Amino acid sequence: MKQDMIVILDLGSHENTVLARAIRALGVYSEIYPHDITAAELKALPGVKGIIINGGPNHVIDGVEIDVLPEIYEAGFPVMAAGHDKALCDVKLAEFANDEEAIKDAVKDFVFDTCKAEANWNMKNFVADQIELVRRQVGDKKVLLALSGGVDSSVVAALLLKAIGDNLVCVHVNHGLMRKGESENVIEVFRNQLSANLIYVDATDRFLNLLEGVADPEQKRKIIGGEFIRVFEEEARKLDGIDFLGQGTIYPDIVESGTKTAKMVKSHHNVGGLPEDLHFELVEPLRQLFKDEVRACGLELGLPYEMVYRQPFPGPGLGVRCLGAITRDRLEAVRESDAILREEFAKAGLDKKVWQYFTIVPDFKSVGVRDNARSYDWPVIIRAVNTIDAMTASIEPVEWPILMKITERILNEVKTVNRVCYDMSPKPSATIEWE
Ligand code: XMP
């Protein structure tokens, strides 16, 4: 399908991604390229209709002012200059900061009138194009995909399934640190509803045995990440005739926004550290998409809303919320209290409002009273935060009646817990997770 594109050339602006998203929101595809792209490289890109040179506060690098090559102006494309402090800017985007509507207004005349770009970028076309491209790349060969149930891997799975059906082999590794019902949900949606070829590996014991007695958070992360690759690799070796590896790489993984170096586009061709003798070619159908576009793509493919809009969940899962050395009883307390919190947040409509919310169980007990007797049990800490980019975060001021309802349920239903606290700390000084 024909797709027009506005190319953004990066001169170190922090607004590159905001600008690209705004142009895409106008229905015109846009990508970001380094400032030193040559005219020949530019001409080789498909569907280019115009160029925006996006200067910023970082366009002096190591004392040298960077600029696009003079030949870019002779390449035959309409050019607009935008940015912070360039004297000759057509548009000063800095004033708009992150206001997508204002940026859309500022660039739409250039995009549509000057460049004559057509608004032909939408999810329907994107999905149709990617299905075609995947079929062309893969042919009748097989693709292996680690399906965690996160947004990106779920959307890749749904897309590959449409493209190649049974030739997609999904592997879901349950590391025992998933939230309540999560692995079951992956099986229900992908195996039962979408009839995907799904291998389910319950590796709970392997992970928990390895983690036994390990209290250091970074050590825990290393063990979980390393073992995940080993389990996946073992499954891969059991399968014959697989040439491709599906990956949920998305555009922010490829473009590093706001970089201070001249080379702003970098590739993250990280296959998760799989050994070199496993030769896979990568299939990355979401590599052009921003996160919100990935969600829209998931909906277009018919995935459930809850799956596509779920809150972020760290790779090490509940492992970093069961503080210190993980024990099965505290892990269960985290899992059960987290399920209660999620249920009550959904009932109160907070699941659509709050960015991330979960519970934590520390590795110390406190004294309480249960059934007229002294108890010595675990506390549960509730955390609910809002953020744009996870670099800073503020807490959600959850209303008392909701917190009290959640507290009552946790104390009644999770027998190893006698105390519930609410974490009031913003980031900074705290981080979002406790480990
Ligand atoms: P912090 O705790 O650093 O978290 O404020 C910021 C965001 O990152 C998530 N997070 C992780 N995600 N692996 C992940 O995939 C990890 O080891 C990890 N640690 C933190 C966290 O949930 C929050 O969204």
**Domain-embedded: residue 313:** no
Q: Give strand pairing partners of 168.
A: 143
Lowest mean pLDDT among 49-63, 169-183, 288-302, 363-377: 49-63
294 & 339 share domain: no
pLDDT score for 94: 58
Helices (H), 301-399: 305-308, 328-347
429 within domain boundaries: no
Q: With 80 as the cut, is the pLDDT of residue 260 above it?
A: no
Identify the CA nearest to 308 among candidates 290, 284, 289, 292. Answer: 292
What H or E segment, with its residue span, contains residue 385? strand 373-386
Query: What is the three-class DSSP state of 257?
Result: coil
> Which residue owns the Cα nearest ligand 1 atom 9?
314
Tell me how far the alpha carbon of residue 341 lies from the centroid of ligand 1, in angstroms: 19
Overall average pLDDT of the 19-28 stretch:
95
Q: Are residues 298 and 400 in the same domain?
A: no
- CA–centroid distance, 218 to ligand 1, in Å, is 12
**Amino acid 98: pLDDT:** 66
Distance 41 CA to ligand 1 centre (A): 37
Number of Cβ within 10 Å of residue 336's Cβ equals 21
- In this prediction, what percent of the chain has a pLDDT beyond 70? 91
Mean pLDDT of 136-149: 97
- Same domain? 148 vs 268: yes
- Give the nearest ligand 1 atom to 433 CA: 2
* Predicted pLDDT at 90: 67
Of 90-104, 119-133, 240-254, which gets the smallest average pLDDT? 90-104
* One domain for residues 256 and 327: no
Predicted pLDDT at 16: 85
The CA 34 to ligand 1 mean position distance, Å, reads 29
Model confidence at 169, pLDDT cuts 50, 70, 90, reads very high
Per-residue pLDDT, 67:
86
pLDDT (average), residues 170-175: 98
Tell me the two tokens of residue 128. Answer: 């149709």
Task: Please give the average per-residue pLDDT across 228-250, as a whole number.
Answer: 95
pLDDT in tens, 109-122: 999 999 999 999 99
Q: Are residues 293 and 207 in the same domain?
A: yes
The residue among 308, 338, 370 that closes a domain is 308
Residue pLDDT, tens place only, 305-321: 999 999 999 999 999 99
* Per-residue b or e along 166-203, where b marks 16 or more CB atoms closer than 10 Å to that residue's CB: ebbbbbbbbbbbbbbebbebbbebbbeebebbbebbeb
Using the 3D structure, point to which of 65, 85, 114 is the last residue of a domain. Answer: 114
> Are residues 36 and 79 both part of a single domain?
yes
The protein residue with its alpha carbon nearest to ligand 1, atom 19, reads 314
Closest Cα to atom 22 of ligand 1: 314
pLDDT over 90 at 396, yes or no = yes
The b-or-e profile of 247-272 (16+ CB within 10 A means b, else e) is bbbbbebbbbbebeebebeeeeeeee
Mean pLDDT of the chain: 91
Q: What percentage of the chain has pLDDT greater than the value 90? A: 82
- Mean pLDDT over 167-173 rounds to 98
SS3 content of the chain, % helix, strand, coil (to 5): 40, 20, 40
97 shares its domain with 147 = no
Q: Which CATH number fits the domain that encloses residue 272?
A: 3.40.50.620
70 is a domain residue: yes
316 alpha carbon – ligand 1 mean position (Å)? 9
The rounded Å distance from CA 257 to ligand 1 centre is: 19
Largest CA-CA distance found in the chain, in angstroms, rounded: 85
pLDDT of amino acid 270: 42
Pocket test for ligand 1, best of 318, 386, 433 (most atoms within 8 A of CB): 433
Contacts of 58 (CB under 8 A, 6+ apart): 11, 12, 13, 258, 259, 260
**What number is the average pLDDT over the span 374-400?**
97
Residue 393 confidence (pLDDT) above 70: yes
Mutate which of 220, 311, 323, 432 for ligand 1 pocket (most atoms within 8 A of beta carbon): 432
Examine the domain organization and report whether 298 and 350 are in the same domain. no
pLDDT category of residue 11 using cuts at 50, 70 and 90 = confident
Give the domain CATH number at 403. Answer: 3.30.300.10
pLDDT of residue 55: 78
Residue 346: pLDDT above 90? yes
pLDDT band at 59 (very low <50, low <70, confident <90, very high): low
Q: Which two tokens stand for residue 24?
A: 């895409």
Give the residue-averaged pLDDT of 386-396: 95
Q: Which ligand 1 atom lies nearest to the CA of residue 393? A: 5
Ligand 1 atom nearest residue 315's Cα: 15
Helix and strand tally (H, E) in the chain?
13, 16
Residue 268 pLDDT > 60: no
Distance from C-alpha of 123 to C-alpha of 350, rounded to nearest angstrom: 28
Ligand 1 atom, smallest distance to 431 CA: 5
**Do residues 8 and 35 make contact, with C-beta atoms less than 8 angstroms apart?**
no
Shortest-distance Cα residue to atom 14 of ligand 1: 314
Same domain, 163 and 95: no
* Domain carrying residue 16: 5-114
Domain for residue 432, yes or no? no
Confidence of residue 273 (pLDDT cuts 50, 70, 90): low
Q: What is the DSSP string of 280-294?
A: -EEE-TTTT--HHHH
CA of 317 to the centre of ligand 1 (A): 9
Lowest mean pLDDT, pick from 32-36, 68-72, 99-103, 360-364: 99-103
pLDDT of residue 255: 80
**Is residue 265 a part of any domain in this protein?**
yes
The partner residues of 265 in beta bridges, in order of sequence, read 255
Domain end call among 259, 277, 308: 308
The answer on pLDDT for 257 being more than 90 is no
With left for phi above 0 and alpha for psi between -120 and 50, is residue 13 left, alpha or beta?
beta
In a domain, 434, yes or no: no
Question: Each residue of 66-116: pLDDT tens digit?
Answer: 889 999 999 999 999 886 554 556 666 656 666 888 899 999 999 999 999
Ligand 1 midpoint to CA 342 (Å) = 18
Q: Which residues are near ligand 1 (CB < 6 Å)? A: 221, 312, 314-316, 356, 390, 427, 431-433
Distance CA 18, CA 29 (A): 13
Provide the pLDDT confidence category of residue 220 given band limits of 50, 70 and 90.
very high
For residue 15, being part of any structural domain is answered with: yes
Ligand 1 atom nearest to 221, measured from its CA = 17
When pLDDT is averaged across residues 425-432 and rounded to a whole number, the result is 98
CATH number of the domain at 23, please.
3.40.50.880
Question: What is the domain count for the chain?
Answer: 3
Q: Would you give the DSSP letter of residue 179? A: P
Residue 17's pLDDT band, with cuts at 50, 70 and 90, is confident
- Residue 186 and residue 100 in one domain: no
Query: What distance lies between CA 410 and its chain's CA centroid?
Result: 30
Ligand 1 nearest-atom number relative to CA 430: 5
Q: Are residues 183 and 270 in the same domain?
A: yes
Ligand 1, atom nearest to 312 Cα: 24
Does residue 208 carry a pLDDT above 90? yes
C-alpha of residue 195 to centroid of ligand 1, in Å: 32
DSSP secondary structure string, 200-255?
Answer: EEE-HHHHHHHHTT---HHHHHHHHHHHHHHHHHHHHHHS-SEEEEE----HHHHB
**Is the predicted pLDDT of residue 404 greater than 50, yes or no?**
yes
Which two tokens mark 222? 């290393």
CA–centroid distance, 107 to ligand 1, in Å, is 35
CA of 433 to the centre of ligand 1 (A): 6
